[in-house]
Amino acid sequence: MLRSGHGPTKHPDGGQLVRILLVASAFNSLTQRVHAELRERDHEVGVELALGDDLLRARVARFRPDLILAPMLTTAIPEDVWTEHPVFIVHPGPMGDRGPSSLDWAITEGATRWGVTVLQAVAEMDAGPIWASVGFDVAPCGKSELYRNEVSDAAVEAVLTAVRRFASGDYVPEPLDYDRPDVTGRLRPFLTQQVRRIDWATADTATVIRTLRAADSQPGVLDELFGREYFVHGGHHEDRLRGEPGAVIATRDGAICRATVDGAVWLPQLRPRRVPGGPVTFKMPATDALGADLPAGVPEVPVSPAEAAVRDTWSELRYHEDAGVGYLEFAYPGGAMDTRQCRRLLAAYREACDRPVDVLVLGPRRDFFSNGIHLNVIEAADDPAEESWRNINAIDDVVEAILTTTDKLVIAALAGNAAAGGVMLALAADHVWCRESVVLNPHYRLMGLHGSEYWTYTLPQRVGPEVAAQLTSRTLPVGARAAARVGLVDKVFDGSTERFRAQVRREAEILAAAPELQNLLLAKKQRRAADEAVRPLAQYRAEELAHMHRNFFGDGESYHRLRRDFVANTKPPATPPYLLG
């Protein structure tokens, strides 16, 4: 079977090491996590984006992999590649499931149990011999959130099992056999917009939510609002508001609330349908996308973070307390935080700091912690440079507030991934705790930015100047375990998102009840004063923002081009050098 590479080699601990080429349509969250997990186990890993058959053939010839692994692929591997090299495909469905809309169908049909299967590439799509399959319970959430959590966990387990079996040299994969009772999947067609369509006059809330979740974050559900067509992204329950089915009855923090026959749902993001030959469109806060088409009489219906925590309604911010610990939860689509969201978070943080608790936990229950400034909102602004400047200053204000909090222990709890300024937001806390599945991208260079969020203060202080330089220049993802080894994070917890929250809660309560807590707070205050005397935070901020101002407003800077390409999902002509290894 090992026709092209060198063959697995022995690891010092007795395991087998494999030279693996990851082939993916994008270096997305799952591909990054698989990359990090394989490197964590000392396998030699390369990456090739699926940008053309000839490019793939050339990379395979140069890299000479023992195994080709496709964690996320929307195109077929050429026949001459999979006949000459072992190619494993990661399919987000249980054994026997086939087709391009696996998770979409699972959510649409209300499946409670699903799976991920690693199978070998053959001529018939998704029908090859099975190397591993792992099941999981389907959480009640959107497809993208499910993908980054339960699917990702199952996929990593399945990939590691398949690679271990491959490396052993003696495992025989199982052929797909629909007569077996454990083969529960089937061939399903592409899930079209015709099937996804919502009839607001007849559909109940449960149906609407299920339909929206099955299309989140791509492709969205095509719908019509005020005479224009939009793709709707995301959907959340509303427990109180009611109105005529289909009517937009409220707004809140950029989202719109639309009535159903038996309730209402919140729609956070819309993407205008692209006109043939027109400019690329992208997801935006719903009220921004609607613009002047949104009737003036639709009321803004706010909800406080504390009230949101005890209701079944949509809110980006929730706050609750338990056993002397305050929990400020925030959740933003895609992890991006625009200027307004940063200002709302800052206000909520200041309110939390006024509460009589000594320990404060920051972070969402599931999914992204933060990915920094909101490139889509910036791209849509009348002046993207000015909006970039407002956005970076707004997130800096949040980080500064955390850094200067000296009367509480602040914990950043990362249940999901973080990148760029989102990583540095977490580093402002006293403790950074991660779920083991988390992937961090502590760098800005891929967007042509120097970066801010006080990273020149917090990052070297945590990991030292040399490691800080490596992390910000190599532009590769860092898994949670590797991050802990270099001091980027303090604790890593295993298990599901629910288990992570329980572990965070237990450890935070221990801190809150510790006899030495007041001594810890006193030491924190003294350290902040000593650091301020050596070099004020304002100086770090001013120097970082001087670089960022050049990035935003200077001639010849790459940021605006890179941002446009990112927002438009422009494919590069070849795999970027930083992925070549």
Query: What is the residue-wise DSSP string for 170-203?
Result: ---PBPP-TTSTT----B-----HHHH---TTT-
Residue with structure tokens 């399919």?
91
CB 478 within 8 Å of CB 442: yes
Instruction: Output the pTM of the full model.
Output: 0.95
Give the pLDDT of residue 5: 52
Low-confidence ranges of the chain (pLDDT < 50): 1-4, 12
Neighbours of 61 (CB within 10 A): 9
Instruction: From 400, 403, 399, 377, select the one nearest 388 (Cα to Cα).
Output: 377
Tokens of 158: 């399945």
* Domains and their CATH numbers in the chain: 19-168 (3.40.50.170), 194-293 (3.10.25.10), 316-498+506-567 (3.90.226.10)
Pairing assessment for the beta strands 478-479 and 221-225 based on DSSP bridges: unpaired
How would you classify the pairing of strands 87-91 and 19-24?
A: unpaired
500-545: pLDDT as tens digits: 999 999 999 999 999 999 999 999 999 999 999 999 999 999 999 9
